[in-house]
Amino acid sequence: MKGFYHQILKLDLTCHGQQIEPISDDILERFLGGKGLATHLLMENNPTGVDPMSPENHLVLATGPVSGTPVWGSCRYGVYTRSPQTGLYSESYSGGTVGDYLSKTGFDAVVLYGASKDPCWIEVSDHGTFFHDAEDLRGLDTFETEDRIKAWIRKNRPDAPKCGVVCIGPAGENGVRFSVIENDYWRSAGRTGVGAVIGSKKIKGIAFWGSQRKEAADPEWVKRYAKDLSRQAKEDPGVLAYKSKGTPMMVDTMSRVGSFPTRYWHKGEAAHRERINADALHQRLHVTPNACLKCLIACGRLSVVKEGRHQGLKIEGPEYETIYAFGGLCEVDTIEEIAYLNDICDRLGMDTISAGNLTAFAIEAARQGRIDCDIDYDEPDKIARLLKDMAYRRGIGDVLSQGIKVAAREWNMEDQAIHVKGMEPPGYDPRVLKGMGLAYGSSPRGACHLRATFYKPELSGIIEPDGIEGKAALFAEWEDRLIIMDTLIVCRFYRDLYPWKELSNLIRAVTGLDLNVEKMRRIAQDISSATRRFNIREGLTPEGDRLPRRFHMEVLPETQKVITEEEMDRLLRDYYRARGWNEDGVPPETKDRP
Ligand code: SF4
pLDDT at res. 337: 98
Distance from the CA of 291 to the center of ligand 1, in angstroms? 6
Percent of residues in the chain assigned helix, strand, coil, to nearest 5? 45, 15, 45
Nearest CA residue ID for atom 4, ligand 1: 491
Edge-to-edge, what's the strand order for the sheet holding 300-305?
A: 285-290, 300-305, 314-316
pLDDT, position 160: 86
Inter-axis angle of helices 219-233 and 500-511, nearest 10: 150
Phi-psi region of 115 (alpha: psi -120 to 50; beta: other; left: phi over 0): beta
- Greatest alpha-carbon span in the chain: 66
Q: Which residues contact 171 (CB under 8 A, 6 or more apart)?
A: 178, 179, 180, 195, 196, 199, 348, 349, 350, 390, 391, 401
pLDDT digits (tens, 9 = 90+) for 95-129: 999 999 999 999 999 999 999 999 999 999 999 99
Answer whether 149 contacts ligand 1 (Cβ < 6 A): no
Q: Which of 295, 321, 495 to mutate to test the pocket of ligand 1 (most atoms within 8 A of CB)?
A: 295
pLDDT value at position 590?
74
pTM recorded for the entire structure: 0.97
DSSP result, 311-373: TT-EEE---HHHIIIIIIIT----HHHHHHHHHHHHHHTB-HHHHHHHHHHHHHHHHTTSS--
Ligand 1 test: best mutation among 247, 288, 299, most atoms within 8 Å of CB? 299
Q: What secondary structure letter does DSSP report for 532? A: H
The span from the first CA to the last CA of the chain, in angstroms, equals 21
Closest approach atom of ligand 1 to CA 294: 5
Cis peptide before 463 (omega within 30 of 0): no
- The b-or-e profile of 306-336 (16+ CB within 10 A means b, else e) is eeeebeebebbbbbbbbbbbbbbbbbbbbbb
Q: With a 6 A CB cut-off, is 490 part of the ligand 1 pocket? A: no
* Per-residue model confidence (pLDDT) at position 591: 57
Q: What is the phi/psi pair of residue 46, to 5°? A: -80, 125
In contact, 120 and 112? CB cutoff 8 Å: no
Strands 89-94, 77-82: pairing kind: antiparallel
Q: Quick check: CB of 317 below 6 Å from ligand 1?
A: no
- Helix and strand numbers (H, E) in the chain are 23, 15
- Whether residue 142 contacts residue 92, with contact meaning beta carbons closer than 8 Å, is answered with no
Q: Residue 8: which H helix or E strand, with range?
A: strand 7-12
Q: Are 427 and 320 in contact (CB under 8 A)?
A: yes
CA atoms 148, 154, 156, 157: torsion sign: positive
CA of 203 to the centre of ligand 1 (A): 27
Cβ of residue 287 lying under 6 Å from some atom of ligand 1:
no
Angle at alpha carbon of residue 210, lines to 101 and 208, rounded to 5°: 45
Per-residue pLDDT, 452 = 85
Q: What does the chain come to in residues?
A: 594
Transcribe 108-132 into DSSP letters.
SEEEEES--SS-EEEEEETTEEEEE
Best of 294, 491, 497 to mutate for ligand 1, by most ligand atoms within 8 A of CB? Answer: 491
- Mean pLDDT for each 10-residue chunk of the chain (594 residues)? 97 98 96 97 95 98 96 96 98 97 97 98 97 98 98 93 96 98 96 97 98 95 95 90 95 97 98 97 96 94 97 96 98 98 98 98 98 97 98 98 98 98 97 97 94 92 95 97 97 94 97 97 96 97 97 97 98 97 92 53
Contact of 341 with 384, CB cutoff 8 Å: yes
For every residue of 372-416, DSSP letters joined together read -----TT-HHHHHHHHHHHHHT-THHHHHHT-HHHHHHHTT-TTT
CA 393 to chain centre: 23
Q: Determine the atom of ligand 1 nearest the C-alpha atom of 73.
A: 5
d(CA 370, CA 411): 6
Query: Quick one: pLDDT at residue 592?
Result: 54
